[in-house]
Amino acid sequence: MAVKKVAAKKATTRNLKSEIKNQKSKKWVYLFEQGNKDMRDLLGGKGAGLAEMTHANLPVPPGFTITTEVCNAYYTSGKKFPKGMWTQVLAALKVVEKQTGKKFGDAKNPLLVSVRSGSKFSMPGMMDTVLNLGLNSETLKGIAALTGNQRFAMDAYRRFISLFGRIVMGVEQKKFDAIFDGAKAKYHAKADTDLDANALSEIVAQFKELYKKEKGAEFPEDPYKQLELAIGAVFGSWMGKRAVDYRRINKIPDNLGTAVNVQTMVFGNAGDDSGTGVAFTRNPSTGENVLFGEYLANAQGEDVVAGIRTPMKIAELKEKNPKVYAEFSKIARRMEKHYREMQDLEFTVERGKLYMLQTRRGARNARATVRVAVEMVREGLITKEEAILRVEPNHVVQLLMPQFDDAAKADAAKQGNLLATGLNASPGAATGLAIFNPDTAEKLGKEGKSIILVRYETSPEDVHGMYASKGILTQHGGATSHAAVVARGAGLPCVAGCEGIHVDEEKKIFTVGGKTIKEGDSISIDGGSGEVFLGEIKMVLPDFDQDQELKTLLAWADEIRLKKSRKGIKNSPELGLQVWANGDYPRDARMAIKFGAQGIGLCRTEHMFFETDRLPIVQKMILSKTDAERQTYLDQLLPIQREDFYGIFEAMGELPVVIRTIDPPLHEFLPSHEQLLVEVTELRVRGNNPALLKEKEEMLKAVEGMREQNPMLGLRGCRLGITMPQITLMQTRAIIEAACQLKKRGVNVHPEIMIPLVGHVNELKHQRELADAEAKKVIAEQGVELEYKIGTMIEIPRGALTANEIAEYAQFFSFGTNDLTQTTMGISRDDAEGRFLLRYVETKILPANPFQELDRQGVGGLMRIAVEEGRQTNPKLKIGICGEHGGDPSSIEFCHRIGLNYVSCSPYRVPVARLAAAQAAVVKSK
């Protein structure tokens, strides 16, 4: 019988499709039966999902999708529908009428519809939805008569008036809420469902009066006019502030547009045997393979997501209605298997019958993302390549972020600072100032302050403040509420439904247990446990060694990265793009090994000089008046430097270590000019310490003698080594002696000496000859065989443009992209970021901060030239990058594309770089 019904339904649809197909204009409207999951660009995620579920013969209420192309046309034509669209909408509506046996606007058997947005990428709550459209004074009677339930009809009508009034016509929601809350108080109703038909009838009348007062006209009775206005409003919400903010944050292009889905209404508010729910096929916080979600009886549409009432867990539906739960559970597993992806499902139960309203990729946090990817590989649903592409580099960052120290939490609880416990809606830990307004949160967040946004419940209008905060706390709402969904997607800790606190947003306070927390007070939230604390809680780093799922994923990333060929990249290395780390101390090297680094790509020797035990020696070396005096102090620094390098070589074992000779101007090791000037002036005024005054005056004279108008382009790097060759000799000897000592112990170390700031081949020629001679001398003294390399840092444009000449004397290149960006773009990073650079990014003069994401056309163009010309001279030339861009996923992809051997980044960015490098290899191979 069921098969016959399906066949009949398909036949009816085929016969009726001609009403749309015969339209000569461009196709703007698709019935659900005409789409599929691969049409996300045109139908949006929601429309494509509804189409796919319809094809799978799931219980989907009939409807149609107006394409994203209409949205773009709507804006380009001055917010007018494109020619032919409305005719196609009416034709599609006729098909839906025949599919349902109802008629739009009919007084006896009315068809009611929902009008919902749906872009290609999920934007939860960021655009508008109108439910129960088609209700008016006459169709209201029809609904009441058909259902025999006057209360249900009035409830649907009051919802429609407030939704339409707010979303379509711009009447403030709080004005509707004031009327509704007043009625609840009048009738002593604790919940919405306690209001009877008479009370709801009064509310409807007051809603209409409010509408007339606000808009100067009666509430529209014509269903077709309602539909036309609602479609326009949903398209209009694409450029609403919250949607635009969300897209900016998530880098979603404006030109994608949203589709509009018009679908037959089903009613979860039809009684206790009805309800609405949202569920995920796996736990979006932990990734556990168990159905996770919430269900709200006798409720409609957005009630669960909006957090208007606290719902029951989806597992409780199994007890309340085992038949519906079993059917839904079966569909959920089927959808996950079909899409080979965790799904986010919306459904409604109307008088015991299940209807599916949405399936889309389930948003989840970093922990769940990694676990789901790893487990789906083990379950045979996806490949290892697919798994690493599903985890974003930022997810790895989030997993390595600090968490609360358990002992500190316990102490805080003992001291009475555990304020309350709510739902653990999104894991992670955060401490910040309690702020009750999203605009204030955004402002303070931009100032660099740590914020915890506290709300009674969040709404889509809060999204800009949510993303500016470190964490979110709400008094109301469930695990699938707006706050929880957005927080999980953004990787923010969230405690939702914390009913133990009482939030007063107007007074900017919340109270709990006799305590009052005011705006600006420091609080801490643990999104993993749901706990809320007064004050700050000590943070600790997570234990990477215990994170087996992340380690498994990264091991797969390494495996895939090495397997993938580098086709199409001239003279590229065979081993794929390796991931090295920047490290100046043995502790950095040990951390790099722990996180999976394959070498040290930058050891900055100047950082060692700033240590308190050696800075006085460095200063005396700088102030020396003769070479002999300078050599005395360099001899004192030699054993200290040798010990530094020995520790790093020992930690890295047989992995390569690139050590950069001293780079910054020498005056950076001396006291500041301003500070010395003040001290000298004060000593002269007091006149009580002539010896100290003489010492300070000599230091001031030395500093003034070394001051430069533009020290970044002054006496530094290789220029320093050329003018003071003893420094290069001392550092070379320290490096090679340390390596030889370990070689004698049987460790096959690989030291690489990097000469910075080379812009002319003769600079490198001079320094290499100097370093080579000293290295060979030391090796002969030590009586061991040792391989070493000498190369250079490419960090000024001339170095890149003359790479063919420089490569004659370099065994490796390493791009210092921090300085290369400054010298290429003519921007001083320290000055620009605080004055104009961020504004450049906000106003789209620049696509991104070039010090965070590599400028591919300018800086990247120079890098490409250096790679190609350098390898023309020396085909075996090893090339890497050691600026901050070495840990940026986009920059890593570019480095892979142009054929670099390695990227080097902070030890804590190594896991991120490992994943990004593998993703680049997979994408390139495809």
Strands 429-435 and 522-526: antiparallel
CA distances from 220 to 136, 165, 208, 665, 811 (A): 8, 10, 10, 75, 78
What angle, rounded to 10 degrees, do the helices at 627-652 and 586-594 form?
20
Catalytic residue status for 603: no
Look up residue 570 and give its two tokens. Answer: 């001239």
Angle at 299 between CA 296 and CA 302, to 5 degrees: 90
**Residue 715 DSSP code:** S
Contact 887/909 with Cβ under 8 angstroms?
yes
DSSP lists the bridge partners of residue 917 as none
Picking from 661, 649, 670, 643, the residue whose alpha carbon sits closest to that of residue 605 is 661
Active-site entry in 476, 482, 885, 896: 482
Helix 548-563 vs helix 910-925: angle between axes, to the nearest 10 degrees? 40
| Residue 332 identity (one-letter amino acid) | A
Kindly list the distances between the CA atom of residue 740 and the CA atoms of 654, 744, 776, 781, 895, in Å, as whole numbers in the listed order. 13, 6, 11, 10, 33
Question: Which is catalytic among the residues 603, 718, 740, 882?
Answer: 882
Tokens of 610: 């700033």
Residue 760 annotated in active site:
no
- For residues 719 and 643, give the distance between their C-alpha atoms in angstroms, rounded to a whole number: 26
Amino acid at 411: D
* Half-sphere exposure (Cβ direction) of 754: Cα atoms closer than 13 Å: 29
| 160 neighbors 133 (Cβ within 8 angstroms) | yes
Task: Report how far apart, in Å, the C-alpha atoms of 783 and of each of 465, 639, 740 are.
Answer: 65, 19, 9
CA-angle at 249, arms to 261 and 287, nearest 5° = 75
Q: Could you tell me if 485 and 125 are in contact, meaning their C-beta atoms sit under 8 angstroms apart?
A: yes
Measured N-to-C along each axis, helices 725-744 and 627-652 cross at an angle, to the nearest 10 degrees, of 30
Sheet holding 29-31, edge to edge: 29-31, 63-66, 258-264, 113-119, 129-133
Show Cβ contacts of residue 119 under 8 Å, excluding neighbours closer than 6 positions. Answer: 44, 45, 68, 127, 238, 252, 256, 257, 258, 259
Half-sphere exposure of 914 (CA within 13 A, CB side): 29
Longest dimension (CA), the chain: 109
Separation of alpha carbons 835 and 837, rounded Å: 6
Q: How do beta strands 902-905 and 878-881 pair?
A: parallel
Dist CA 256 CA 252 (whole Å)? 8
| CB neighbour burial string for 469-486, b if at least 16 within 10 angstroms, e if fewer | bbbbbbbbbbbbbbbbbb
Q: How far is 397 from 405, CA to CA, in rounded Å?
A: 19
Q: For the purposes of burial, counting CB atoms within 10 Å of the CB of 546, is it exposed (0-12), middle (13-18) or buried (19 or more)?
A: exposed
Strands 509-512, 502-504: pairing kind: antiparallel
- Two tokens, residue 408: 């500190």
Do 784 and 749 touch, CB atoms closer than 8 A?
A: no
Partner residues linked to 524 by β-bridges: 431, 533
Report helix, strand or coil for 602.
Answer: strand
Q: What are the residue numbers of the active site?
A: 482, 882
